[in-house]
Structure 1
Amino acid sequence: MNKWIAPLCMLLCFQAQATEYRFSYSELYSKLKYSLKEEYTAVGTGVYFVNPTTQLPCSVEKSWMEKEAHYETLSFPPSGKLPLPLDGNLKSANPLVYVHTDSTTQCDYSVALVANEPYALDIHSDYLEVVIPEFQLLLEDISGMFSSWFAPTISGITLEFIELETGEVMLSNNQTLPITGHRAHITLADLKDGVVATLPTSPSRIMPYIQQ
């Protein structure tokens, strides 16, 4: 795994044996509030529950919010992103948020930097020219005033494909980029001179990439 996965998860990844996770809404809101800032039009943060070995989404049996007599079910998408609505009134009410994962799987809970959906099958350089600077700014924003001085430079995007462990991303210049371990990386250098990357299927999520 890329050594910068930890910073890109806001240094907030941990393992848990339990099948039930419980959070206060305000706790989660503090980690996801960056998605509401006006300067981030293409990226944000998301809470994920993933297998620590494959880094693919865990099976979530059920999830919900509750506060006294109020109850709302949360339906997880295939990407494994917690579908938590961000709302000031909910923050004030501060309900509890519960997530039940498959009891046979040990999961990691993490907060990751992700591009906003929906994702196109064709990736152009102008898309990277928008998301890369926003990822960089978001990483530095999350890292804080002094930690941002040591934040790594984001040079591209990481595409995650739940259904594809291996494969290829086709480039319009007849070159290819490998999909390995369900992930492929695209940098601005790969798409110079108008080259377009065509994906074999829609990615489950798009995250930052730091070139080694």
Structure 2
Amino acid sequence: MKKWIGATTLSLLCLALPVKAEQYRFTYSKLYYQLKVNQKEGHEDVRMALFFNDSQTGKACQIKKAWMEKEEHYEEFKIPTNQELPLPIDDNLKSANPLVYIQTEEGKQCDISMEVLANNPLIDTVSVNELTLLTTQMDAMLSDIGGMFSKYFMPDVEGVRFVFSDAVTSGIKASNGVIIPIENGKATIDLREFNKGDSFELPATPLKVTPWLVK
């Protein structure tokens, strides 16, 4: 069964539309303007990314195949380990407006989700200074998405959330002796609780590094 995804509304952090099909189809232009924020200056180390997440667990659905087509033109996407849909941002594609197809795991309901995350993988040890730079850029991107008045209503990005594979269960070791637990594949670091000279030893390379906002 196929489900047509029409016009969408983007929240400050993510977009979630419940769908009940295993193959999804939408027009390229529906996501173009939200993803175009990646081309703005001021947040070169972070990006807006497109995922399909399990509606029950919130974890990324496995994308079996994804492609876009327009008449005789066809291009298949190579899906990375974190299951992001690597949709290119291109003015010519916006004009051509091809159809984009995504096939996910059979029998699983997935929600389309747009998330802000770090561009480059974090490996082994990461410092508070490195994470602070990321959160500053994440703040800037969320402000760009929300518009000029968003800073008055949106909470600050005060830390990061690491998303690991289910096989990773040991915690993140901080240099000050604190162990940050990984629960359900996720671990949150509130940077306000650490000093500038602190660092963190990661048990594995995270699939995602996303902003953590104070509620």
Change (3 A) 1:66 1:55: same
For residues 151-194 of structure 1, what are the alpha-carbon distances to aligned partners after superposition, in whole Å with 9 as ceiling and x for unaligned? 11110000000234643001122221111111111132344151
Alignment of 1:3-152 (within 5 A): 7-9=12-14, 12-152=15-155
* Counterpart amino acid of residue 67 in structure 1: K
CA contact (8 A) 2:123 2:204 kept: no
Contact persistence 2:53–2:61 (CA under 8 A): yes
1:34 and 1:79 map into 2 onto residues whose CA distance is: 21
1:158 is matched with 161
Match of 1:60, as an amino acid?
A: I
TM-score (norm 2): 0.88
State the Cα distance separating 1:49 from its structure 2 match.
0.5
Q: Which residue of 1 aligns with 2:185?
A: 182
Larger mean CA deviation between 57-66 and 145-154 belongs to 145-154
Moved over 6 A (4+): none
Between 138-147 and 62-71, report the one with greater CA deviation: 138-147
The Cα of 1:88 is off from its aligned counterpart by: 2.1
Greater CA drift, 135-144 or 64-73: 135-144
- Between Structure 1 and Structure 2, the one with more helix by share is 1
Q: Distance in 1 between matches of 2:94 and 2:51?
A: 20
Aligned residues: 205
Aligned to 2:4: none
Helix, strand or coil at the partner of 2:102 = strand
Q: How far apart are residue 29 of structure 1 and its match?
A: 1.6
Unpaired stretches in structure 1, ≥5 consecutive residues: 1-5
Shift of 1:74: 0.9
- Per-residue deviation, residues 83-112 of structure 1 (Å, max 9, x unmatched): 112222222222111101122101111111
1:37-83 per-position Cα deviation (integer Å, ceiling 9, x unaligned): 12111111011001122221112221101011010111221212111
Whether the aligned pair in 2 keeps the contact of 1:191 and 1:197 (CA below 8 Å) is no
* Distance in 2 (alpha carbons) for counterparts of 1:204 and 1:35: 19
Equivalent residue for 2:172? 169
Judge conservation of contact 1:160–1:182 (CA < 8 Å) in 2.
yes
Q: Measured at CA, do residues 7 and 164 of structure 1 come closer, stay the same or move farther in structure 2, by a change above 3 Å?
A: farther
Which structure 2 residue ranges, 5 or more long, are not aligned?
1-10
Cα distance between partner residues in 2 of 1:169 and 1:35: 29
Q: Are the equivalent residues in 2 in contact too, given 1:56–1:162 (CA < 8 A)?
A: no
Equivalent position amino acid for 2:128 in 1:
S
